[in-house]
Amino acid sequence: MMPAATTVEGVVHRVPYLRTAARNPTFSSRGSASIRFRALSFSASAASPPSTVVDEQKLGPGSLGHITRPDFPILHQEVNGSKLVYLDNAATSQKPTDVLKALQAYYEGYNSNVHRGIHYLSAKATDEYELARRKVAAFINASESKEIVFTRNATEAINLVAYTWGLSNLKPGDEVIVTIAEHHSAIVPWQLIAQKTGVILKFVSLTDNEVPDIMELKETLSRKTKLLCVHHVSNMLASLLPIEEIISWAHDVGAKVLVDACQSVPHMVVDVKSLDADFLVASSHKMCGPTGIGFLYGKSELLTAMPPFLGGGEMIADVYLDHSTYAEPPSRFEAGTPAIGEAIGLGAAIDYLSQIGMQRIHDYEVELGHYLYDSLHSVPSVRIYGPAPSQTVKRAALCSFNVEDVHPTDIATFLDQQHGVAIRSGHHCAQPLHRCLGISASARASLHFYNTKEDVDHFIDALKDTISFFSSYK
Mind telling me the catalytic residues? 429
Counting every residue written for the chain, the total comes to: 474
Pairing status of strand 316-319 against strand 324-326: antiparallel
> Are 403 and 97 in contact, with CB atoms under 8 Å apart?
no
Q: How many CB atoms lie within 10 A of CB 32?
A: 8
Nearest partner of 276 among 258, 263, 261, judged by Cα? 258
CB-side exposure of 146: number of CA atoms within 13 Å? 10
Q: d(Cα 37, Cα 416) in Å, to the nearest integer?
A: 16
* Pick from 198, 237, 244: nearest CA to 393: 237
Q: d(Cα 376, Cα 464) in Å, to the nearest integer?
A: 10
Q: Can you spell out the DSSP letters for 409-430?
A: HHHHHHHHHHH-EE-EEE-TT-
Q: Is the dihedral of CA 207, 383, 47, 94 positive or negative?
A: positive
Distance (Å) of CA 229 to CA 161, 165, 258, 398: 11, 13, 5, 22
Q: CB-based contacts of 175: which residues, under 8 Å, 6+ apart?
A: 199, 200, 201, 202, 222, 224, 225, 226
Sign (positive/negative) of CA torsion 147, 188, 232, 53? Answer: positive
Cβ of 280: how many Cβ atoms within 10 Å? 27
- In 265-393, which ranges are E strands? 279-283, 294-298, 316-319, 324-326, 382-384
> In angstroms, rounded to a whole number, what is the distance separating the alpha carbons of residues 266 and 353?
8
> Do 307 and 155 meet the contact criterion of CB atoms below 8 Å apart?
no
CA distance linking residue 13 with residue 336, whole number of Å: 51
